[in-house]
Amino acid sequence: MSLRIGNGAGFWGDNLDAPVAIVKSGSLDVLTLEYLAELTMAILAHVRSKNPAAGFVTDFPELMPRLAPFLKERGGPAIVTNAGGLNPEACAHAAAQDLVAAGLEDWPIGVVTGDDLLSWIPTWISEGILFPHMETGEPISTVVDRLVCANAYLGAREIAEALAGAAKVVITGRVADASLTVGPAAAKFGWKWDDWDHLATSSVAGHLIECGAQATGGLWHDWSNVQDFASIGYPIAELGSDGACTITKPDRSGGLVTTATVAEQLVYEIDDPACYRTPDVNVDLTNVRMAQDAADRVAVTGARGTAPGRELKLSAVYRDGWTASGMVAVVGRDAEAKARAAGRIVIDRVERAGFVLENSLVEVIGAGDVAPGVVRVSPPYEVMLRVTVRDARRAAIERFCREIAPLITAGPPGIAGYASGRPQPKPAFGYWPALVPRYLVAPKVQVRTAREWAT
């Protein structure tokens, strides 16, 4: 018995055609779509602040009309996604309307909620739970009045429950990326939630495909040997009931799957390779082995698992004032020196107008500032000057936005690329990583037909 799980999105903004292409290629049992990151949650929080009915990834409902013909013809694959963001039920409503319009009104949609803890944080603070910042140790009370979202990373159990309840689409909020794969595998094979090695293997599979084309040649160091980036195939994990795992991609698609491309993804964002922490299982990656079974097929073995911790990761976002970024090109002799002088001029003029900015960053792109101390190109003849600022006062940021354009005629020579106009102030957000005791988190699963969700 085997299960083929393909991932068609590694973040919100990923290739819009990838989910369609991987489903069209056929033989998928499950399509996962992984959209969320910390920055995404901040964006969704800002959107929800303007419209309480928003706060989900709009790309997902818009995808439904393109997938519906394949779903109707083939009866699948099942779809598992965290597109619900901060409002999974609203996302289900929007997606259900398109499914109903496509004649799939009886398709069951499962919605997983319970990760949104924002309303509970003040109560828990009053009970003495500090939620210290994982890097600074500060208590979350220092920003509680500015919080816009606070979400626990849920695991795979509720996804499996929804699938066991006949859901053909499962929409979640914030869950661990790999759990999108673990849930379908546990539901298919009937694994117990203390079957640590099988959960570890499926977590590795989920981790390997969660970032989309990063496992199939995207970002690979030897990129010049990747064929047809324009139609790069997105990854598929083939899982067996015995814990076997093979990573591949659709036939005749671009990209490539080798032990090298898969290994680069394996070590991406894992922290301690001996203890890759997820809500489902702590994974020991130190004995993982990879073998090239055939062209574009890599077998992955050796993952071991132990019980996860008693806490879940908490991802919180708070308002942190205002920000803006301005960019111009600088060309000609002494381009770097002119760009750095122009950046200082902007900051000095803002200060002379009465605003000492809380944070400012002057970067000269093309002169080594993207990777300081790593790459040095000298002397560059053309560079991009980027000045970014943040301050609690909107008036300070507005004044900064008015100081980029004057460089055109009141700064060093060679200023170009200013046709995009004056930058605009935007809300700034801060990220608060913390831990929350599991016993405080109560996930909930609802399974209804598309017709019911659409009304």
**Portions of the chain given CATH number 3.30.70:** 321-429
Q: Is residue 376 over pLDDT 80?
A: no
pLDDT of residue 1: 80
Q: pLDDT class for 406, splitting at 50, 70, 90? A: very high
Residue range 12-20: mean pLDDT, rounded: 97
Angle between helices 179-189 and 196-209 (to 10 degrees): 130
Q: Say yes or no to pLDDT of 176 above 90.
A: yes
Domain range 321-429, CATH class: alpha beta
pLDDT given at position 421: 83
The DSSP bridge pattern shows strands 78-81 and 169-172 to be parallel
For residue 375, name the pLDDT band (cuts at 50, 70, 90): confident
Give the residue-averaged pLDDT of 159-175: 98
Poorest-confidence range of 105-114, 154-163, 288-297, 372-381?
Answer: 372-381
pLDDT for the residue numbered 89: 98
Query: Per-residue confidence at 417, pLDDT binned at 50, 70, 90?
Result: confident
**Mean pLDDT computed over 413-438:** 93
Q: Per-residue pLDDT for 424 more than 90?
A: yes
Q: What is the mean pLDDT of residues 196-202?
A: 98
Supply the pLDDT for residue 187.
98
Can you give the pLDDT at residue 371? Answer: 86
pLDDT of res. 378: 76
End-to-end alpha carbon distance in the chain? 38
**pLDDT at position 379 over 90:** no
β-bridge partners, 361: 388
Average pLDDT over residues 345-370: 96
- Indicate whether 419 pLDDT > 80: no
Question: With bands split at pLDDT 50, 70 and 90, how would you rate the model's confidence at 260?
Answer: very high
Q: Which residues of 249-280 are buried (b: 16+ CB within 10 A; e: fewer)?
A: bbeebbbbbbbbbbbbbbeeeeeeeeebbbbb
Q: Which of 415, 438, 190 is nearest to 314 (CA)?
A: 438
Is 374 a residue whose pLDDT tops 90?
no
Q: What is the pLDDT of residues 264-314, one digit of tens each?
A: 999 999 999 999 999 999 999 999 999 999 999 999 999 999 999 999 999
Q: Which pTM does this prediction carry? A: 0.95
Tens-digit pLDDT profile for residues 390-402: 999 999 999 999 9
Asked whether residue 418 carries a pLDDT value surpassing 90, the answer given is no
Average pLDDT for residues 77-91, to the nearest whole number? 98
Q: Check residue 112 and give its pLDDT.
A: 98
Q: Does pLDDT of 144 surpass 90?
A: yes
Confidence (pLDDT) at 444: 98
pLDDT of residue 114: 98
User: Span 369-380, mean pLDDT?
Assistant: 82
pLDDT surpasses 90 at 26: no
Mean pLDDT of the chain: 96
Which percentage of the chain shows pLDDT scores above 90? 95
